Amino acid sequence: MYTADKNRYGSMKYNRCGKSGLLLPAVSLGLWHNFGDTGVYANMERLLFTAFDHGITHFDLANNYGPEPGSAEKNFGRILKENFLPYRDELIISTKAGYTMWEGPYGDWGSRKYLLASLDQSLKRMGLDYVDIFYHHRMDPSTPLEETMGALEQAVRSGKALYAGLSNYDGPTLEKASAILEELRVPFVINQNRYNILDRTIERNGLKDAVRMLDKGLICFTPLAQGVLTDRYLNGIPEDSRIRTDTRFLKESSLTPEKLSCVRALNTLAQERGQTLAEMALAWILRDGVVTSVLIGASRPSQILDNIKALENTSFTEDELALIDRVSAL
Q: Is 87 exposed, middle or buried (0-12, 13-18, 19+ CB in 10 A)?
A: middle
Percent of the chain with pLDDT over 90: 89
Residue 252 domain flag? no
Q: What is the chain's mean pLDDT, rounded?
A: 95
Residue 44 domain flag? yes
Q: What is the pLDDT of residues 291-301, one digit of tens each?
A: 999 999 999 99
Domain coverage including residue 35: 14-228+288-300
Is 296 in contact with 27 (CB distance < 8 Å)? yes
Q: Does the pLDDT of residue 26 top 80, yes or no?
A: yes
Indicate which CATH number applies to the domain containing 224: 3.20.20.100
pLDDT at 60: 98
pTM of the full predicted structure? 0.94
Give the whole-angstrom CA distance, residue 127 versus residue 121.
10
Whether a cis peptide bond, with omega within 30° of 0, leads into 67 is yes
pLDDT at 252: 63
pLDDT at 246: 57
pLDDT at 239: 57
Q: Which pLDDT band holds residue 232 (cuts at 50, 70, 90)? A: confident
**Strands 14-16 and 23-25, how do they pair?**
antiparallel
Q: Does the pLDDT of residue 181 top 80, yes or no?
A: yes
- Encoded amino acid at 115, one letter: L
When divided into structural domains, the chain yields a total of 1
Q: How many CA atoms lie within 13 A of 224 on its CB side?
A: 27
Residue 255 domain flag? no
Q: What is the pLDDT of residues 47-80, one digit of tens each?
A: 999 999 999 999 999 999 999 999 999 999 999 9
Q: Does the pLDDT of residue 39 top 80, yes or no?
A: yes
Give the whole-angstrom CA distance, residue 67 versus residue 190.
26
Q: Measured between alpha carbons, how far is residue 326 from residues 46, 224, 227, 322 in Å? A: 39, 18, 21, 6
Q: What is the pLDDT of residues 156-173, one digit of tens each?
A: 999 999 999 999 999 999
Residue 253 domain flag? no
> What value does the mean pLDDT take over residues 28-47?
97
- Encoded amino acid at 4, one letter: A
Give the whole-angstrom CA distance, residue 164 versus residue 134.
5
Residue 129 domain flag? yes
Q: Does the pLDDT of residue 19 top 80, yes or no?
A: yes
**Other residues' Cβ atoms within 10 Å of the Cβ of residue 38:** 13
Is 285 in contact with 220 (CB distance < 8 Å)? yes
Residue 78 domain flag? yes
Q: Which pLDDT band holds residue 258 (cuts at 50, 70, 90)? A: confident
Q: What is the DSSP letter of 241?
A: S
Percent of the chain with pLDDT over 70: 94
Q: Which pLDDT band holds residue 235 (cuts at 50, 70, 90)? A: confident
Q: Does the pLDDT of residue 253 top 90, yes or no?
A: no
Residues facing 199 on adjacent strands: 196
Residue 34 domain flag? yes
Which ranges of 215-276 would DSSP assign to H, the alpha helix? 242-245, 257-272
Q: Which pLDDT band holds residue 234 (cuts at 50, 70, 90)? A: confident
Q: What is the pLDDT of residues 182-211, one digit of tens each?
A: 999 999 999 999 999 999 999 999 999 999
Give the whole-angstrom CA distance, residue 301 versus residue 308.
11
Residue 316 domain flag? no
pLDDT at 237: 64
